[in-house]
Amino acid sequence: MNYRIILGLLSLNLFIPFFVVADTYSASEKFYFGIGGGIISPNDVDINVKTAGTINGVTFSANIDGEFQFEDGYQISGILGYRLSDSLSLETDISYSQFDYDKVNLTVGGTAISGGVTFTGNANSSYVVDGTISAFSMIFGPSFDYDLNRQIELLFGGGIGFASHNDEIKSVGNSTGLSYDQDQTDFAAKFKTGFNYSIDINTFFQGEYGFNYVNSGIENYSSDFTAHTYSARLLFNF
């Protein structure tokens, strides 16, 4: 047999499996699911409390500004998706997150009037907070894919949904009298970007960055909750 024919057949045997296995999308496989985990890094949450009154003939008003700071935590997540085309999917993103409080920084400014004399002052303080926030969220929305080559595709997307969270504070500083435990469900939204890497035609590795928003609506909080998430997961066609 002519050696050019032999080389040609060998080339086909080498390259055809690569293109078949490494393709990032199969038109016959519409549904996929994924499971994984990662890190959640919460942003600070601002607080503002105003109070006023009269005690023993002294009229006072106070304004407390500050911020809660949090430690990084973990997140476990799952995705169920349906491909509308090779570049557009609809997804349900389900996750459970948990992280601890770090501390609260406070600035207290106030005015007191007694006997016609006005006193003003400010004080700054910081306290360690013993507490934990855990949250279950479900987000619905589109995901857009762009093929870089036959193995790697970029993704970006987002959606809206809800977050059910438990906010528990056991103590602030040395005081256990400031304990707090509340369950709440709020509107949530997410933006994400990342990539898919094709392991074979039905299995993918996904790396994802997410920006998460929760309209927490907690009394005396002057900013809503936001956090960054960094996730890795495996996706499977079915």
* Residue range 160-218, pLDDT digits in tens: 999 999 999 999 887 767 778 989 999 999 999 999 999 998 999 999 999 999 998 66
DSSP string covering 196-222? EEEEETTEEEEEEEEEEEE----TTBS
| Residue 156 vs residue 19, higher pLDDT | 156
| Cα 98 from chain centroid (whole Å) | 11
117 within a domain of the structure (yes/no)? no
DSSP letter assigned to residue 148: S
95 within a domain of the structure (yes/no)? yes
201 within a domain of the structure (yes/no)? yes
> Is residue 21 pLDDT above 60, yes or no?
no
9 within a domain of the structure (yes/no)? yes
Give the domain range for residue 94: 3-45+71-102+129-237
How many structural domains does the chain have? 1
65 within a domain of the structure (yes/no)? no
For 48-71, what is the mean pLDDT? 77
41 within a domain of the structure (yes/no)? yes
- The token duo for 215 is 């309209």
State the pLDDT confidence band at 61, using cuts at 50, 70 and 90: confident
DSSP letter assigned to residue 176: S
* pLDDT, tens digit (0-9, with 9 covering 90-100), for 97-113: 999 999 998 887 766 67
Cα separation of 144 and 135, whole Å? Answer: 26
* pLDDT, tens digit (0-9, with 9 covering 90-100), for 116-165: 666 676 778 888 999 999 999 999 999 999 999 989 999 999 999 999 99
121 within a domain of the structure (yes/no)? no
Cα separation of 157 and 199, whole Å? Answer: 22
172 within a domain of the structure (yes/no)? yes
Q: What is the dihedral of CA 87, 207, 212, 166, to 10 degrees?
A: 130
> Is residue 58 pLDDT above 80, yes or no?
no
| Residue 122 vs residue 3, higher pLDDT | 122
- The token duo for 181 is 């435990």
| Phi, psi for residue 87 in degrees, rounded to 5 | -130, 0
| Four-residue CA torsion sign, 31, 35, 39, 45 | positive
CATH number of the domain bearing residue 155? 2.40.160.20
